[in-house]
Amino acid sequence: MNKVVVMIPVYNHEHAIGAVVDAVRARGLPVLLVDDGSKPSCAAALDALVKPPEVQLYRRTQNGGKGAAVMSGLQEAHRLGFTHAVQIDADGQHDLVDLPKFLELATAHPEALITGQPVYDESVPKGRLYGRYLTHIWVWINTLSFAIKDSMCGFRVYPVPRTLAALVPSIGKRMDFDPEIAVRMVWQGTQVVNLPTHVTYPTDGVSHFDVLWDNVRITGMHTRLFFGMLVRLPWLLWRKAFGK
């Protein structure tokens, strides 16, 4: 039986995080907050939310990026005995009405990566919307499949042991983490289940996407993955041909 925690990486979202935690707790799920080196005002807001075992906090002393925070959260979730971690963003952009659907799919497919396929409203920045399609194309090339419909959505359920097994030292630590871990899990043989979900940008006006450097990191990530795909090409083609 799955033991699930909702894992929320947080970096200076003190104005939105309380409402997000309340929405998760209203659905009876435990919360693991991962403070990625937030400023004192946000750190204090997170301290005020802690109520073990319902709401627990893992604190990183320095900001390392979203990917670093998610990896720390996955390791902490494993230490606490959770089998699955639901990753959501701290700014309230994800529609938690869909949370039961994610959990149902995780129950039906306990070894799968359950990932959101965003349905956007008018709040989405057009540059971000168009840019992510380029990432989708490279992800489809690097997996030789369309298994991942949207590799950048931060609303997903990770099977904790399988995800930890897919980590490598070179994996992206910032906004490049979400697409890279998805690709590496496909290479690993993990099933991907996609779920359409509404996404709104964001409630507290805080975005940590660095248009220049995060795009540079994502470009480097796609390059690394492309050469990784070439190394795995015979096996990927064999698996594609025989449905393995």
Can you give the pLDDT at residue 207? 58
- What pTM did the predictor assign? 0.90
Can you give the pLDDT at residue 135? 87
The pair of structure tokens assigned to 186 is 């496909």
Can you give the pLDDT at residue 206? 56
118 closest CA partner among 84, 149, 89: 149
Using DSSP's 3-state secondary structure scheme, residue 133 falls into: helix
The pair of structure tokens assigned to 219 is 């470009």
Can you give the pLDDT at residue 94? 92
Amino acid 177 reads: F
Q: Name the class of domain 4-242.
A: alpha beta
Domain boundaries, the chain: 4-242
188 closest CA partner among 235, 241, 124, 122: 235
Can you give the pLDDT at residue 218? 87
Residue ranges, the chain, pLDDT below 70: 122-131, 202-213, 244
Q: How far is CA 57 from CA 6, 31, 78, 190, in A?
A: 12, 8, 14, 29
